[in-house]
Amino acid sequence: MNEAFSFDSAIGRITLYCTEAGISQVNLGGSHTELRINNISPILLEASCQINEYLNRQRQVFDLPLDWTAIQGFQRDVLDLTRQIAFGEVLTYGEIARRLGKPAASRAVGAALGRNPMPLLIPCHRVVAANRSLTGYSAADGIKTKAWLLTLEGGKVVGQKLV
């Protein structure tokens, strides 16, 4: 089973994909073409509800099954650790690398986060550069969306930097 569902949100169009194991992909932005499904999977409906609750400051933690099948090795380790960053908290690429026991791997952490198939659910927007600059966000409107999400969570962003 591979299903998809698109909906409009506070940050634009979001398309969710799922398998029998759980949510497998979240696409932020993109076209406004309708994906029509007669029987929408309950997990897709629940995911869209939880994401809208988050974007409306009514939820801080997602409670959804994720399909990790396509994510392995170092990327899995990075995304698993990133998923644990709490609402309103941030880590740097270097801090993640050190927590993984690979202190020289901050660029590799950035590359792994750049391939995050489930932004929001795996909150890569909560990872910033060592100087707290907002870097490396390719979902939706890029850095603008990352700044919006960090502000939603109580952060203060000035000139593409978390202060």
DSSP letter at 131? T
Residue labelled with tokens 């910033």? 128
Please identify which of the residues 47, 124, 139, 140 carries the catalytic annotation. 124
Residues with Cβ within 8 Å of 73's Cβ and at least 6 positions away in sequence, in order, are none
Residue labelled with tokens 């634009």? 12
Is residue 17 a contact partner of residue 3, using CB atoms and an 8 Å limit?
Answer: yes
User: Would residue 124 show up in a list of annotated catalytic residues for this protein?
Assistant: yes
Is residue 2 a contact partner of residue 97, using CB atoms and an 8 Å limit?
Answer: no
**How far is residue 112's CA from residue 49's CA, in Å, rounded to a whole number?**
27
**Catalytic residue positions, numbered:** 124
